[in-house]
Amino acid sequence: MDRVYNFSAGPSMLPLEVLEKAQKELLNYNGCGSSVLEMSHRSKPFEAIVNNAEATLRRIMHIPDEYAVLFLQGGASLQFSMVPMNLTAQGATTAYAVTGQFAKKAWEEGARWGNAVAVTNGKIDNFAAIPAVTPELIPQDAAYLHITGNNTVYGTAYNTLPDTGSVPLVADWSSAILGKVIDVKKHALIYAGAQKNMGPAGLTVVILRKELLERTLDPIVPTMLQYAIHADKGSMYNTPPCFSIYMAGLVFEWVEKNGGVEAMEQRNAARAAALYKALESCDHFRPLAAKKDRSIMNVTFTLDTPEMTAEFLAMAQGRGLTSLKGYRTVGGCRASLYNGMPDEGVAALIDCICAFEIGKRT
């Protein structure tokens, strides 16, 4: 069977060129006689893999020297806890913009550690839009404002960063990192799970100002959950997710080779615009996200009835377009247009939408 076009929100498609290189190197990486899957994380070859991955990521994201880059485990979900534990004392005030499923989870975990204030909550509009955040909404004693930059479940995104005043900005960019330009300097801390736009599951990237590593933490914070420990050990305090780091490094190189994050954003914006245009031209399809807040990475839409939605999903599946079913709490459909999705896949989805629409009109 030929490869399908996988529109999953994660794990997602990887660039074919990256997969083919990994396949070629799988049994014998760079002449060292073993696979990266078997390689000691303390070996010189793996040390080079980690260093090259970080250097490439710094180049393509324009990460300043005053920021540390960490390769961790536990997914973005573990960062919901690590962020407050490392950036605040127990009971301290933090601020959260609740714009979707995972933003809500981050806020709830923050509330387990301290006084986590939800400065906005998009639930009233079923998270179809991003409520505006202005400095007066943010408690001035807040250690940070946390946002979820791109909401995979609802298909919304911060297309303009909020004005936080003097309060540091922390952002979960899991589903948009490398797919759109992110101004690192406007953030105190960025984190992202790799399984959407950077590589396979198992790796989480954290980018943070080095000054944050100097804080004295509450003694209750476990060693494994301390950013400073991981930074001091070069992300190898314990055995890291070696193969995931290797694969992410290949993706970073692929992004750089193909014009960098700037080129990825231009390509993704054009593809998303074409898909939104197709949906808006139909009588039976409706985009779910407010136009000003639409994501270029995750396009959510629905049809007239659940039965029609199921019929469309079956048609798409038959054409090799998989994982288009919407998140379980939302329903409808969702197409994730990450960097690894070929242009042909997006074109095939648009063709399928148009064919379904025509079939319903006749």
Residue 245 has pLDDT above 80, yes or no: yes
Please, which pLDDT band fits residue 274 given cuts at 50, 70 and 90?
very high
For residue 329, the model assigns a pLDDT of 82
Q: Does 16-257 carry CATH code 3.40.640.10?
A: yes
Give the contacts of 261 (CB within 8 A, at least 6 positions apart): 60, 61, 178, 179, 180, 181, 182, 255
Q: What angle is formed at CA 266 by the lines to CA 264 and CA 269, rounded to 5 degrees?
A: 105
The per-residue pLDDT for range 151-168, each reduced to its tens digit, is 999 999 999 999 999 999
Q: Which CATH superfamily is domain 261-361 in?
A: Aspartate Aminotransferase, domain 1 (3.90.1150.10)
For residue 3, the model assigns a pLDDT of 92
Domain ranges of the chain: 16-257, 261-361
For residue 69, the model assigns a pLDDT of 98
- Tokens 């469309």 found at: 312
Contact assessment for residue 197 and residue 338, using Cβ atoms and an 8 Å cutoff: yes
Residue 362 has pLDDT above 80, yes or no: no
Task: Report how far residue 298's alpha carbon sits from residue 204's, in angstroms, rounded to the nearest whole number.
Answer: 20
- Give which of 348, 261, 240 is closest to 3, Cα–Cα: 348
